[in-house]
Amino acid sequence: MFFALALCGALSGCATGFVRFPVTEEGQSKLPADVQVIRLDSSNIASFSQPARPPQPTTLPPARDWDYRIGEGDVLSVVVFDHPELTLPLGDERGALDFGFRVQSDGTFFYPFIGQVAARGRRPEEVRADLTRQLADYISDPQLEVRVTGFNSQRVVVAGEVGTPNRQPLTTIPLTLIEAVNAAGGLTELADAERVTVQRGGRLYRVDLDGFLTAGIARNNPLLIAGDTVAVPRRRAEEAYILGEVDTPSPVDLSQEPITLTQAVARSGGIDELRADARGLFVFRGREEGITVFQLDVSSPGGMLLGTRFLLAPRDVVYITRSPLQRWNDTITGILPTVRTVGQIDDIGD
């Protein structure tokens, strides 16, 4: 709100003089060198119909095809067919989590007749093959099944703006980022899916999960591995400012959905027909090398239709001039310092 008031204050002093429409090359030449003027029309509007910041593939290294490896604390179920005496505990009533073979801190578990069996870092199939080979000394043609029934050794953590932050065990079924988020209760209304982070191996990687959900970027739904910590941040305020001759000058929230120029003006009550000059609708947009000023003539319905294809970006300042028309240089130079200041303060806040 402070920034919006500051902008209004800067613009309130720009009420004298006249401006020619459209802006001519001569008018452009009188502006600072880092200011670019673009007049919006049917020939170029398509260039501004996409979000200013398209989704970006994550830099998180892709995990290999998931292949679960047994670890310390895992509980194994070993069934030897036709030999119930080798399946512990004896009898039909048995709970694998309570009475299975638990992998000890040295990575082994004890099995009758054989003794200590190495399990850490191995697949269940490898343990089965080892037991089959060693049991062949005691029984003829042993048939075994080895399964992990207690997944205790490998976990991921999901925190932040999800329904139920939690720790989740990794199992023999691969776990993707979106599955982990859903298992944690899904995203809250305040979640920022574009700025999800995954901490792995001492490094922090940003993952635009929304890029997977809306743009189908497969890399942005990575497989998680043991030790990953997923953090879903709270959505930051991302606003454009609608100022000048509209019914209700106000900020417009862009954080939840794309907003077009026409939508933003309509949500601010529309252009003041008595005071505004609809030929003078400007959008000020900061960029690294300066400022771009978009000009749109909305004095006819065709202009408003074009505005439905222009997507606003965070920190855009939309300004509708007053009638009689303001002098172009006064309008531009009056607003530029404030636009630059808002951009710099927002950058510090990021």
Q: What is the pTM of this model?
A: 0.69
Considering the domain boundaries, does residue 61 fall inside one? no
Which of 96, 131, 150 is where one domain is finished?
Answer: 150
Residue 42: CA atoms inside 13 Å, Cβ hemisphere, count? 3
Which of 131, 150, 169 is where one domain is finished?
Answer: 150
pLDDT score at 236: 86
pLDDT score at 36: 84
pLDDT exceeds cutoff 60 at 156? yes
Contacts 24+ apart (CB under 8 A), 266-273: 267/242, 268/242, 270/246, 271/245, 271/246, 271/298, 271/320, 272/245, 272/246, 272/247, 272/320
Considering the domain boundaries, does residue 325 fall inside one? yes
pLDDT exceeds cutoff 50 at 323? yes
| 143 and 160 together in one domain | no
Tokens, residue 89: 């505990």
State how far the Cα of 154 lies from the Cα of 149, in Å rounded to an integer.
Answer: 13
pLDDT score at 349: 52
State how far the Cα of 262 lies from the Cα of 302, in Å rounded to an integer.
Answer: 11
Considering the domain boundaries, does residue 211 fall inside one? yes
DSSP-derived secondary structure for 305-345: HHHTT-B--TT-EEEEEESSPPPHHHHHHHHHHHHHHHHHH
Mean of pLDDT values over 147-167: 96
State how far the Cα of 250 lies from the Cα of 253, in Å rounded to an integer.
Answer: 10
- Give the total number of structural domains in the chain: 3
- Residue 76, SS3 per DSSP: strand
Give me the phi and psi of 153, to 5 degrees please. Answer: -95, -20
Structure-model confidence comparison of residues 255 and 196, the more confident one: 196
| 264 and 338 together in one domain | yes
| 140 and 159 together in one domain | no
State how far the Cα of 324 lies from the Cα of 318, in Å rounded to an integer.
Answer: 19
| 92 and 162 together in one domain | no
Beta strands in 15-124 (DSSP E): 35-39, 75-80, 101-102, 108-111, 115-118
Considering the domain boundaries, does residue 293 fall inside one? yes
pLDDT score at 163: 97
Give me the phi and psi of 204, to 5 degrees please. Answer: -110, 125
Residue 91's pLDDT band, with cuts at 50, 70 and 90, is very low
Q: Which domain holds residue 263?
A: 2-51+258-349
Share of the chain above pLDDT 90, in %: 54
pLDDT in tens, 241-298: 999 889 999 999 988 888 999 999 999 999 888 788 778 799 999 887 888 999 998 8
| 211 and 135 together in one domain | no
Query: Residue 200's closest CA among 224, 218, 174, 175?
Result: 224
CATH number of domain containing 88:
3.30.1950.10
Considering the domain boundaries, does residue 237 fall inside one? no
| 134 and 162 together in one domain | no
pLDDT score at 322: 79
State how far the Cα of 96 lies from the Cα of 91, in Å rounded to an integer.
Answer: 12
Which of 150, 171, 204 is where one domain is finished?
Answer: 150
State how far the Cα of 213 lies from the Cα of 215, in Å rounded to an integer.
Answer: 6
| 336 and 289 together in one domain | yes
Give me the phi and psi of 130, to 5 degrees please. Answer: -65, -45
pLDDT score at 328: 52
CB 76 within 8 A of CB 88: no
pLDDT score at 274: 78
Which residues are within 8 A (CB) of 16 and not within 5 positions of it... i.e. 6 or more apart? 326, 327, 330
Mean of pLDDT values over 45-55: 82
Mean of pLDDT values over 181-203: 95
Which residues are within 8 A (CB) of 185 and not within 5 positions of it... i.e. 6 or more apart? 162, 163, 164
pLDDT score at 142: 92
CATH number of domain containing 282:
3.10.560.10
Considering the domain boundaries, does residue 217 fall inside one? yes
State how far the Cα of 147 lies from the Cα of 277, in Å rounded to an integer.
Answer: 75
| 92 and 47 together in one domain | no
- For the chain, the average pLDDT equals 83
Q: Which segment of 5-14, 43-52, 157-166, 298-307 scores lowest on mean pLDDT? A: 5-14
CB 243 within 8 A of CB 14: no
CA torsion through residues 255, 257, 258, 264, sign:
negative
State how far the Cα of 106 lies from the Cα of 122, in Å rounded to an integer.
Answer: 13
- Would you give the distance in Å from CA 80 to the centre of its chain? 49
Which residues are within 8 A (CB) of 201 and not within 5 positions of it... i.e. 6 or more apart? 227
Residue 16's pLDDT band, with cuts at 50, 70 and 90, is very low
Considering the domain boundaries, does residue 69 fall inside one? no
